[in-house]
Structure 1
Amino acid sequence: MSAHGSAPDDIVDEATIEHLQRGLLAREFSCVALVDAYLERMARWDKRGPMLRAVLALNPGARELAADRDAALAAEGRLSGPLHGVVVALKDNCNTTDMPTTGGSLSLEGTVPASDSAVSRKLSDAGAIVLAKTNLHEFALSGTTVSSLGGQTLNPYDLTRTPGGSSGGSGVATTMSFVTVAIGTDTVNSIRSPASANCLVGLRPTRGLISRAGIMPVSETQDTVGPITRTVSDLARVLDVIAGYDPDDPVTARSVGRVPASYCASLNYDALAGKRVGVLRSLSGDEPRHLAVNTAMTGALQVMRDAGAQVLDLHDPCIDAAALLRTGDVQKWEFKQSFEAYLRSLPQSDVRTLGDVLACGGYHKETLHEFLVQANDIDDPEHDSEYLGRLAAHDRLRVRVLELMAEHALDVLAYPLQKCLVVPVGAGGQAERNGILAALTGFPALNMPMGFSKPDDNAPLGVPMGMDLLARPFDEPLLLGLGYAFEQRTRIRKPPLHTLWPD
């Protein structure tokens, strides 16, 4: 194929970074052709056919950026950076100066920030092409991915179900090969939930590993940014680019000396051998609705045993997701102050306070109103005894988790990200998720596909389910090695059966 020809659908469908860059170097296709192929997939399935509603905005300069990458390759004979030609979607709470950043809210429709987020800038500097902004649960405040601006994003494996959230648009864009990889944010579950529900790999990194500068905030204590990909290898390649210290996010000073030369070096087929995995049984359910997830978890743990890992059951009543969420989550106390500081940074915006958002009514009232009103009533969290008590509880939880791991000589903890299948559209909030453990400790957690439920008329492949592996701070190389070994042995990833949908 000519380097300036069209990239057929099978080139970008399920394509990895390595595969695409090999094709670019061999002049089998161009970056412009890749962008066109991804745009064609979006046009076919996001706004037509099943109308997945994953994408909120397209970069009007994407083809020009792609042409620049092609010119650089032609002139230099080599890739311009480690992510040359990689087409990326950003969750629409990540600032970009070439597209609006809205948080999915009508109250911020058309708002273009004055500067790019750190993640967007690092990706572009590495040669990536940011093609799209994705739908999210508005302001990243819940888990079913519905917003006043973008509507309800659908799960492509079962169009009657939600895609997880809040980074559901990034998850759907990745699983549908609308892009090569995507970026999400995670305050409680929000990267790993759509990874689990869309048969993807998602990393909530150690707090402080990746800069949050230029990200629409929810919680200073709990917010993180991370990749959502189809393979562990792609995730490692993205992490190599976006990890590290950024003076605009002082928390990243914790990462100094803790970032390896390359996360790709940790990808090892035999990484599970000799590792000790603790299974948090308190994070599984025992009702009929939990059967599919429990069955998948049993199979996943057997794969680990067969690969040489020692798997231990742990029963710790202190680690109960519902209780941790009820007594430890601090979003309500931290949202207003951080969010209003972000609003004040926006140029030419009439919305400067949380009160302005409430007054204009341009938000998804059914899912957000109660939280926004409660958050708006909190003016001085630093002198709120409940808030301070919750922060103190985070410290106790960190110690408890580390103590548990030390007592049993564990390398990682394992649990299903969600005890039951991702919920149907219109069922209310997302159900029985376990991501709060990583959110409150700040420890890294990697979500891996672990299977599908039984197929039915709505879900011809079944509904995907994911397993979290949680490690000590800055043990991302360990997680990626274990995830890679698991992935290579199971090959669970399957794309949605989009051939069943009319164009």
Structure 2
Amino acid sequence: MFRPTSTRAALVVLAALGLPAQAQERFAVEEATIAGVHEALTAGRISCRTLVQTYLDRIAAYDQAGPKLAAIRAVNQQALRQAEAFDRDSDRRASAPLACVPLVLKDNYNTAELPTTGGSASLAGAQPAQDAFAVAKLRAAGALVLAKANLQEFAQGGVSVSSLGGQVRNPYDLTRTPGGSSGGTGAAVAANLALAGTGSDTVNSIRSPASANNLVGLRATQGLISLSGIMPVSKTQDAIGPITRTVADAAALLQAMAGPDPDDPLTAPSAGKVPESYAAFLKPDALKGARLGVVKALFGTKPEHAEVNRVMQQALDALEAAGATLVTIEDPAFEANRLNAENDVQTYEFKALFNQYLATIPNAPHRDLAGIIASGQYHKAALEKFFAGAEARQDGMAEPEYRARLERIAAFKAHVAALFDAERLDALVYPLQKRLVVPIGELNQADRNGIVAGLTGFPAIDVPAGFSAPGETAPLGVPVGLDLLGRPWSEGRLLGLAYAFEQATRLRRPPASTPPLPSPAR
């Protein structure tokens, strides 16, 4: 079990490192940003080691105790040592764009110093030989891997429960799930257990936790960020990206992660598509003159959808007030339940891709999906049906229905692109989830709309839209997220739109369940 070093001990280390006295004053990590941390490091108000230790203290207080969020699957035991190396290297601390940025990575990202388990007891201890390509790029930019996050086991579902990590709790309402499948990352970043994090998104799974945890979640254009070393679900639908508290921090992580990978042919089209600076798109007036398509088919019409619709109407009003033109899109082709039922290809692709992945893990406890099923070491209630369907396919990617689904996906992608052209749109707008995130105990988050990006591969960013009415278990209310979906490779434009909305509304609020820790006695 991880045992955090005391803050008093950390101050002794500060003195030994020769840092100025003001570095011993408490730096508020709650709601800290990358820019704010870098400013504090440069001014000598904090050391990298103290920053990491403060997050570790919060993990101990709120993930393992207190509200027991269960967001963290494992802490990196080398994190403090890696932070100390930054403190000794002033040149790197000053030049690396993500210098001393402690990240929590979803536990389907390969990491050299921590097992990658997918949250499954069947893969406990499974140790990749090297970092995923995107993780290596984040480290090269200066980021530190603070911890691996719990998740919906094998990224299959929307409530973030796993056999190895248990049920992740939503820090805004401890009786509810945090969305999924990247719910551990979402809960951790929302509760300020790390500076930022990463997730993966096959249908909803970056943006669902962002929506449910009052965060920013960016699913990049498929092919912009390498999937090498990411535990796969679907080669057709998988994408990865950042989960952060601010749009600026999402832009900073994307800058580090984006670009071609020689070992991932899907990234070849990204060559020349990464701008010199995503941050350059972050302008408060970016919504002025923007044309946004409001997709009516992605809004709910039942009583259980009323709170999300109320919050979304306020968000739409704010978009208009910031200068955007809203274009109503009445198009049944966007009906999410039908898209999921008729076009999703996860069960056709999963077994072959997952077995190939397991073959790359030197000490994998099981060599294929059949072995995992036979072990019984997985969350059966959440996974048994999907596993049975995937394993039953002899060669899913050779089946006529699979090919038919790919044809329908291509047609839908062309339909969405034509709509952008016909209406001269900058983005589509809709709620990522038509209803509030579900209570713990339910095994499915119904009424999610992420399938539009999942099938098209177009980029989408979710930003805080507001909160439901406060309740007995949710003192601030339950977060609601607004999704913006753009054309391929339009991440800069999307980030600009999201940033302008963020700056106009300022809807990010930290959860009441994880307040600042008391300052230690001096």
- TM bucket by the smaller chain? over 0.9
1:126 aligned to 2:133?
Answer: no
Alpha-carbon distance change, 352 to 191 in structure 1, aligned in 2, over 3 angstroms: same
* 1:373 CA drift (Å): 1.1
State the AA in 2 paired with 1:67: E
Task: Name the SS of the counterpart of 1:261 in structure 2.
Answer: coil
Deviation at 1:381, TM superposition (A): 2.4
Q: Find 1:363's aligned residue among 378, 389, 392.
A: 378
**Pairwise CA distance, 1:68:** 0.6
Partner of 1:32: 49
2:66 corresponding residue in structure 1: 49
Cα distance in 2 between the residues matched to 1:9 and 1:88: 20
What do the CA deviations read for 1:254-293 (whole angstroms, capped 9, x no partner)?
1111110010000011100001011000001111111111
TM-score by length of 2: 0.94
Q: What is the deviation of 1:427? A: 1.9
SS in 2 for 1:393: helix
> Which residue of structure 2 aligns with residue 266 of structure 1?
281
Structure 1 residue runs without a partner (length 5+): none
* Aligned residue number for residue 395 of structure 1: 410
* C-alpha contact (below 8 Å) 2:211/2:482 kept by paired residues: yes
Indicate yes or no: 2:343 matched with 1:354.
no
Q: 1:194 aligned to 2:209? A: yes
Distance 1:84 1:168, change over 3 A: same
User: How far is 1:425 from its partner?
Assistant: 0.6
Matches within 5 A, 1:326-365: 326-365=341-380
Return closer, same or farther for 1:441/1:499 CA change in 2, 3 Å cut-off. Answer: closer
Deviations 1:461-501 (A, max 9, x none): 00000010000000001100000000000000000002689
Does 2:292 correspond to 1:277? yes
Instruction: Output the amino acid matched with 2:326.
Output: V
The answer to whether the 8 Å contact 1:8/1:37 transfers is: no
What SS class does the counterpart of residue 386 from structure 2 fall into? helix
> Alpha-carbon deviation of 1:377?
1.1
The answer to whether residue 62 in structure 2 is matched with residue 59 in structure 1 is: no
* Equivalent pair of 1:284/1:294 in contact (CA under 8 Å): yes
> 5 Å matches for 1:422-437?
422-437=437-452
Structure 2 partner of 1:410: 425
- Shifted more, 115-124 versus 478-487: the winner is 115-124
Pairwise CA distance, 1:7: 6.6
For 1:266, give the aligned amino acid.
F
Are 2:224 and 1:209 aligned? yes
1:487 alignment partner, SS class: helix
Note closer, same or farther for the CA distance 1:499–1:258 as it changes in structure 2 (3 Å cut): closer
Q: Offset at 1:9?
A: 6.4
CA change 1:280–1:47 in 2 (3 A) is same
> What secondary structure sits across from 1:11 in the alignment?
coil
Alpha-carbon separation, structure 1, partners of 2:502 and 2:26: 25
Report deviation, 1:8.
6.6
SS in 1 for 2:332: coil
Gaps of 5+ in 2: 1-10
Alignment TM-score, normalising by the size of structure 1: 0.97
Q: Distance in 2 between matches of 1:207 and 1:185?
A: 11
CA distance in 2, matches of 1:159, 1:316: 37
| Residue pair 1:167, 1:191 contacting (<8 A) in 2 also | yes
CA distance in 1, matches of 2:335, 2:165: 33
Deviation of 1:426 (Å): 0.8
Q: CA deviation at 1:349?
A: 2.4
1:138-149 correspondence runs (5 A) = 138-149=153-164
Question: What are the within-5 Å matches in structure 2 for residues 319-330 of structure 1?
Answer: 319-330=334-345
Query: Compared with structure 1, are the counterparts of its residues 423 and 4 closer, same or farther at alpha carbon in structure 2 (3 Å cutoff)?
Result: farther
Note the C-alpha offset of 1:142.
Answer: 0.6
Amino acid paired to 1:193:
S
RMSD: 1.6
Q: Secondary structure at the match of 1:413?
A: strand
Deviation string for 1:203-239 (max 9, x for gaps)? 0100000011100100011111100000000011111
Contact kept, 8 Å, 1:184 with 1:225, in 2: the verdict is yes
How big is the shift at 1:77? 8.0
Distance of 2:304 and 2:325 partners within structure 1: 28
Paired AA for residue 30 in structure 2: D
Matched letter for residue 55 of structure 1: I
Aligned ranges 1:366-381 → 2 under 5 Å: 366-381=381-396
Q: 2: distance between equivalents of 1:399 and 1:8? A: 56
Identity among equivalent positions (%) equals: 51
Partner of 2:88: 71
Structure-2 change in CA distance of 1:300 and 1:8 (3 Å): farther
Report the CA distance shift for 1:270/1:347 in structure 2 as closer, same or farther (over 3 A): same
2:4 is matched with: none
Aligned structure 1 segments of 4 or more residues deviating by more than 6 angstroms? 4-9, 500-503
Instruction: Give the partner amino acid of 2:343.
Output: G
**Separation of aligned partners in 1, 2:63 and 2:187:** 10
Q: C-alpha separation between the residues in 2 aligned to 1:488 and 1:198?
A: 18
Match for residue 241 of structure 1 among 238, 246, 256: 256
